Chains A and B, each alone.
Chain A
Amino acid sequence: MSLHRANNLLIILIVLINCYVIATPFFPRLLFFVHSHQGQAVQLKKEVHQAPVATAPPQPNHVVIPNMLLNQPIYDGTDAYGELAKGIWRWPGGSSPDKGGNTVFLGHRFTYTTPKGVFYFLDKATVGSEIGVFWNNKLYNYTVTNTKVVPPTDVSILAPTTEPTLTLYTCTPLWNPESRLVITAHLETK
């Protein structure tokens, strides 16, 4: 291969890599725009009010948040990096929806590898937003009561609670994840 041809190939590779790095963080917004125009939020709102049928085959544990067009499985385990790489991770030090207390779910805001940040749109889960947690084939409905930004050193968000609470958190801001965006929700029906 001549040097001239090799240089052209290098230029193409540089352009492709840099386009990927620059454009990929905007893909979730594009997908959100497309999916919201396809009525996916309405469909998810119906889903958070449909309790699983007892006779139906058991569903995997998952979370549905219509405001952020989220419908994702929940992963359990002790390997933080490994579980977070799969999607939403239930912190094993916390509770679970069937036991009450503070159930803590966390997920990436954005990564270049899959999945591309399950909590990318966590900021769209504002006060009053509905959250449906399908846990052991039972539906738990939560309503967001508080949103806040805390430093990564603030572990008070993981503390046990007397009320059945759901805490969701991720990195913020998107580009410089120096803080944590925390969403607190309380159980509506059991």
Chain B
Amino acid sequence: MKKYNGNPEAIKFWILLAILLLSIAFAWYLNSSLSQSLSNQFQ
């Protein structure tokens, strides 16, 4: 098996960045789903 010799701080950075983007996307999704659902009574 090939041993990975990359910079652990760089790997951590990309993982944290992905978690941050996912958190923002989730918050965005929650807000839009809650605010748009009410108006569908007339559609």
Q: Which residues of A contact B (CB under 8 A)?
A: 3-4, 6-7, 10-11, 13-14, 17-18, 20-21, 80-81, 84-85, 91, 93, 106-113, 152, 155, 158, 169-171, 177, 180
Contacts and interface: CB of A to CB of B under 8 A. Distances in A.
Contact of B38 (A4, A18, A112, A171): A171
Main secondary structure of the interface of B (DSSP, over half): helix
Contacts of A17: 20, 23-24, 27
Contacts, number: 78
B35 A21 contact: no
Contacts of A21: 23, 26-27, 30
A10 B10 contact: no
Interface residues of B, number: 25
Contact of A20 (B7, B13, B27, B34): B27
Given A3-B13, A112-B27, A14 B19 contact: yes
B5 interface: no
A131 B23 CA distance: 40
Contact of A10 (B17, B30, B33): B17
A17 to B, nearest CB: 5
A80 B19 CA distance: 34
Interface string B15-32: 011011001101100110
Given A3-B10, A17-B27, A112-B27, A177 B38 contact: yes
A7 B23 contact: no
Contacts of B24: 17
Contact of B23 (A3, A18, A106, A155): A18
B2 interface: no
A140 B26 CA distance: 42
A177 B37 contact: yes
B28 to A, nearest CB: 9
A108 B30 contact: no
Nearest to A83: B39
Contact of B9 (A7, A91, A177): A7
A23 to B, nearest CB: 12
B36 A81 contact: yes
B38 A7 contact: no
